[in-house]
């Protein structure tokens, strides 16, 4: 696992103190959960659909290298170009290079978590290229200078009143009427679509047999980003491929219901290569960038590879008590919640806090909600075990030693009862050790006299209470 400076525990403590953001998040998540449950209830065969999707995802992972080669051949045959990137940094520089070589100055972007993983906007800005997010939620947080807090609904933590204030500052127009607020954003974005030199989108599913990039959305901005500008660049991580159009249909059977509670999204786009001779619209160039960033290692790990089944529906986030309490920004990485706590520490670039797997109550609500059949608690338990094996924290090592030797443990506990029964001095000396972290927000009742020493006295007392019958 790659280490990072982000401290999930400190960020969570700060997030827990933000009552306004927590209230907004609670309301929004509750609405999404109602929509999802209504959609699933309307599908009596949802369990069968789920089983078919799991089978497709497992088939994909079993033959992933072969499918990627097939995808590359199909995209090339359709007039596109495929680029592989081992790390997020490499991918971002690759995209910036493609755009710079063609003199691109303005890019419109559809929503893409891979783009966030790459830190693409910052790299493009450094290259003198303006990148404009066109998904309404992404556009709001870009204007606000923030990052997404949810993989599907990036502005989930923002109220309409806060958006109204933001628009007033940026555009000089304001309203709390949602259709009018959408109109304000649309008036600004339409000009960007028409002026853009290139469009960048994500990819929900890539179909190997046809070289088709499939994208789901509800606003139409991705379709405009992929078809209006003369250059289209699609970004995907390597596990997003499926073998056939029929396999894609199986995944589409469960993705919209699990994500947004819809049978199908408003817009379902299939991009296959560049504009062909005789066609009147579409991009003149099409590029597909496939990012690894540690996923090949995950694929080779039999205990963790099932996380690559993830279809990014966000269902696990919406039921997670930790995510619902602290929100997405506390995680300090692109992917929050249960799926993020598994995959983020395994990424080569932008991995988040390696101790993030410990932020789990093991309630298993995530695995129950996951349409791809991922057992997140089991994966998080495995990651915890690996972190513990490499733990170099001296207080933890000392506790491990004491726990294996009862006499030493008893002696240390006796010293603790005498000089620091509530462990306040220990927590002050080692605030980032397990004891220190545990006591940040808790009052320890104190070390009690061992039960083994109280047992005989308790037995005598019980005997007296029972009148000597025991």
Please state, in angstroms and rounded to a whole number, the distance separating the CA atoms of residues 240 and 237.
6
Is a pLDDT exceeding 90 seen at residue 463?
A: no
Q: Which residues contact 461 (CB under 8 A, 6 or more apart)?
A: none
Which fold does the domain 45-297 belong to in CATH?
Rossmann fold (3.40.50)
Residue 468: the pLDDT is 57
Q: Where are the alpha helices (DSSP H) in 63-119?
A: 64-77, 88-101, 113-118
Closest CA to 148 of 114, 110, 116: 116
CA angle at 309 for the pair 305 and 314, rounded to the nearest 5°: 125
Which of the four pLDDT bands, split at 50, 70 and 90, describes residue 124? very high
Is residue 27 helix, strand or coil? Answer: helix
Domain coordinates in residue numbering, the chain: 45-297, 394-466
Closest CA to 325 of 160, 161, 441: 441
- The larger pLDDT score, comparing residue 241 to residue 417, is at 241
**pLDDT, tens digit, 9 for 90 and up, residues 3-27:** 556 888 888 888 988 888 888 888 8
Record the tokens describing residue 302, joined without a space: 């039999």
Q: Which residues contact 22 (CB under 8 A, 6 or more apart)?
A: 15, 16, 325, 327
Which strands, in side-by-side order, build the sheet including 285-291? 81-85, 285-291, 231-237, 198-201, 106-109, 130-133
Is a pLDDT exceeding 70 seen at residue 307?
A: yes
Distance of CA 150 to the CA centre of its chain: 7
Which of the four pLDDT bands, split at 50, 70 and 90, describes residue 275? very high
CA distances to 105, 125, 401 from 252, rounded to whole Å, are 35, 35, 52
Please state, in angstroms and rounded to a whole number, the distance separating the CA atoms of residues 201 and 383.
32
Closest CA to 205 of 195, 215, 192: 215
Is a pLDDT exceeding 60 seen at residue 469?
A: no
Average pLDDT in the chain: 90
Is a pLDDT exceeding 70 seen at residue 392?
A: no
Is residue 423 helix, strand or coil? Answer: coil
Please state, in angstroms and rounded to a whole number, the distance separating the CA atoms of residues 57 and 223.
26
Is a pLDDT exceeding 50 seen at residue 406?
A: yes
Is a pLDDT exceeding 50 seen at residue 169?
A: yes
**pLDDT, tens digit, 9 for 90 and up, residues 175-217:** 888 889 889 999 989 899 999 999 999 999 999 999 999 999 9
Record the tokens describing residue 80, joined without a space: 């596109």
Contact 330, 8 (CB under 8 A): yes
Phi, psi of 206 (to 5 degrees): -110, 130
Q: Where are the alpha helices (DSSP H) in 300-438?
A: 315-319, 321-326, 337-343, 365-369, 376-389, 394-403, 406-419, 424-429, 434-438
Which of the four pLDDT bands, split at 50, 70 and 90, describes residue 470? very low
Is a pLDDT exceeding 70 seen at residue 458?
A: yes
For residues 321-337, average pLDDT: 92
For residues 333-362, average pLDDT: 88
Strand duo 81-85 + 198-201: pairing:
unpaired
**pLDDT, tens digit, 9 for 90 and up, residues 227-270:** 999 999 999 999 999 999 999 999 999 999 999 888 889 999 99
Residue 131: the pLDDT is 96
Start-to-end C-alpha separation, the chain: 57
**pLDDT, tens digit, 9 for 90 and up, residues 418-428:** 888 888 888 88
Contact 211, 115 (CB under 8 A): no
Is residue 37 helix, strand or coil? Answer: helix
**pLDDT, tens digit, 9 for 90 and up, residues 60-98:** 999 999 999 999 999 999 999 999 999 999 999 999 999
Q: Residue 337, by phi and psi: left (phi above 0), alpha (psi -120 to 50) or beta?
A: left
0.75 exceeded by pTM? yes
Record the tokens describing residue 325, joined without a space: 């309490």
């Amino acid at each position: 696992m790659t280490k990072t400076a982000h401290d999930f525990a400190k960020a969570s403590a700060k997030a827990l103190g933000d009552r306004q953001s927590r209230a907004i998040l609670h309301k929004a998540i509750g609405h999404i959960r109602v929509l999802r449950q209504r959609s699933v209830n309307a599908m009596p065969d949802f369990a069968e659909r789920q089983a078919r999707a799991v089978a497709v995802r497992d088939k994909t992972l079993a033959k992933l290298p072969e499918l990627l080669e097939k995808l590359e051949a199909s995209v090339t045959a359709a007039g596109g170009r495929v680029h592989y990137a081992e790390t997020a940094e490499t991918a971002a520089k690759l995209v910036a290079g493609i755009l710079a070589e063609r003199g691109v100055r303005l890019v419109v972007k559809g929503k893409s978590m891979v783009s966030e993983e790459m830190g693409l906007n910052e790299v493009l800005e450094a290259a003198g290229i303006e990148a404009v997010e066109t998904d309404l939620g992404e556009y709001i947080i870009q204007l606000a200078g923030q990052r997404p807090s949810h993989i599907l609904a990036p502005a989930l933590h923002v109220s309409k009143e806060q958006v109204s204030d933001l628009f007033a500052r940026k555009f000089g127009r304001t309203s709390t009427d949602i259709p009018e607020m959408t109109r304000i954003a649309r008036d600004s974005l339409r000009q960007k679509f028409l002026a853009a030199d290139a469009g960048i989108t994500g990819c929900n599913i890539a179909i190997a047999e046809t070289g088709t990039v499939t994208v789901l959305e509800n606003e139409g901005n991705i379709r405009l980003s992929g078809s209006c500008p003369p250059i289209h660049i699609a970004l995907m991580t390597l596990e997003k491929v499926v073998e056939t159009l029929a396999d894609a249909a199986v995944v589409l059977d469960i993705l919209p219901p699990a994500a947004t509670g819809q049978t199908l999204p408003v817009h379902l786009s299939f991009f296959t290569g560049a504009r062909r001779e005789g066609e009147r619209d579409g991009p003149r160039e099409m590029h597909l960038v496939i990012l690894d960033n540690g996923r090949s290692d995950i694929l080779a790990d039999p205990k963790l590879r099932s996380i690559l089944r993830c279809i990014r529906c966000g269902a696990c986030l919406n039921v997670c008590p930790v995510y619902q309490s602290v929100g997405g920004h506390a995680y300090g990485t692109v992917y929050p919640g249960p799926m993020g706590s598994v995959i983020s520490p395994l990424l080569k670039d932008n991995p988040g806090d390696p101790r993030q797997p410990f932020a789990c109550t093991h309630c298993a609500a995530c695995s129950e909600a996951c349409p791809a059949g991922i057992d997140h608690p089991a994966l998080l338990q495995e990651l915890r075990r690996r972190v513990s094996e490499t733990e170099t924290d001296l207080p933890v090592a000392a506790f491990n030693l004491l726990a294996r030797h009862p006499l030493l443990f008893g002696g240390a506990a006796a010293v603790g009862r005498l000089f620091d029964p509530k462990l306040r001095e220990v927590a002050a000396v080692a605030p980032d050790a397990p004891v220190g972290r545990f006591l940040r927000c808790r009052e320890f009742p104190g070390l009690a006299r061992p039960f083994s020493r109280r047992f005989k006295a308790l037995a005598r007392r019980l005997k007296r209470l029972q009148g000597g019958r025991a």
